[in-house]
Structure 1
């Protein structure tokens, strides 16, 4: 599995647009690459499958927090093995996903999840992996949860704040708190 300090893999994936564009078949689809948004941090998070019970709880929360990530110069990419068409049908079928503001990427060939090393050995789907990638494509944070355990988007935002603080940040540090100074 890729870890902190590794280069995030190059990718070129079909995607369902976020927002209203993703609900209109004329504007819904595009290709997203690792070169897109190159001046911004990237939050790339994976979920196992569309039309599941647990995944929307995380996806919706990341969607609600998208303005907080954008305020910090970070874009969000959500990724699963489902096609961009399946993503669209899921958004249309599940009311809480309709206004999702970020693109849903289709890793249907398992190329990105394989390159990241996050495929579950038994199920063949991505684990609940989260990567924070800086503007140089270096992984600065990674966390991976079991398929049965949802992640904490607020903690991902806290870690992004700490990484961008450029200093030593103690346990439970929050944006605006004092940082540690080396002696």
Structure 2
């Protein structure tokens, strides 16, 4: 059976999951919900990786972290996610130098229910594909990208698309923030 990927125009699924938000003892975990995000009135960028303690994943997570302020400046909440548990996330953050100072939550979808609803669960190992969702403040999916397990994504492209969506105008190919938009 092939996955049906939740796509543009769909409402992002409701969820309530534990996320790792710190490596400070006693302050590691936070219960994050779609309702809280919707009530924030902000955009959401949620990116998924297959497994903790792997090779491509930390390069992406570190790159998103380097641009965390860029997302915040665009009124967007950045969330990383995988099907690993919050305890594995916390251990990985403590263990990996590039992940210790993360400025965004690492969502733990241990039941795999959210990944399944999104249609991004790889069929053999039941891990998430490298998926990225941009969701508007009303909870509607405005952009989805999906990569094979072996290929890392471009954080700059995610920012470019977020910029384009936030103009609420027509943006031509290779458009960059500050460039002219199109008129119909």
Which TM bucket (shorter chain)?
over 0.9
Q: How many residues align?
A: 178
Q: Deviations over 1:134-159 (max 9, x none)?
A: 01100000000000000101000000
Q: Determine which of 125, 134, 141 is the counterpart of 2:127.
A: 125
Question: Structure 1 residue 32 and structure 2 residue 32: aligned?
Answer: yes
User: Counterparts of 1:93 and 1:179 in 2: how far apart (Å)?
Assistant: 45
User: Counterparts of 2:180 and 2:71 in 1: how far apart (Å)?
Assistant: 21
Q: Deviations over 1:74-121 (max 9, x none)?
A: 011111111111111101110011111100010000010000000111
Residue 36 of structure 2: SS of its match in structure 1?
coil
Question: Structure 1 residue 2 and structure 2 residue 6: aligned?
Answer: yes
Taking structure 2 as the reference length, the TM-score comes to 0.95
User: Counterparts of 1:144 and 1:94 in 2: how far apart (Å)?
Assistant: 25
Give 2:85's aligned residue: 83
Taking structure 1 as the reference length, the TM-score comes to 0.96
Give 2:148's aligned residue: 146
Residue 124 of structure 2: SS of its match in structure 1?
coil
User: Counterparts of 2:121 and 2:48 in 1: how far apart (Å)?
Assistant: 10
Q: Select between 25-34 and 130-139 the one with higher mean Cα deviation.
A: 25-34
Q: Select between 121-130 and 142-151 the one with higher mean Cα deviation.
A: 121-130
Per-residue deviation at 1:35?
A: 1.4
User: Counterparts of 1:141 and 1:127 in 2: how far apart (Å)?
Assistant: 16
User: Counterparts of 2:48 and 2:89 in 1: how far apart (Å)?
Assistant: 13
Give 1:165's aligned residue: 167
User: Counterparts of 2:87 and 2:120 in 1: how far apart (Å)?
Assistant: 23
Structure 1: gaps spanning 5 or more residues: none
**Which structure 1 residue ranges, 4+ long, deviate > 6 Å from structure 2?**
none
- Cα RMSD (Å): 0.7
Residue 37 of structure 2: SS of its match in structure 1?
coil
Give 2:20's aligned residue: 16
Residue 55 of structure 1: SS of its match in structure 2?
helix
Residue 27 of structure 1: SS of its match in structure 2?
coil
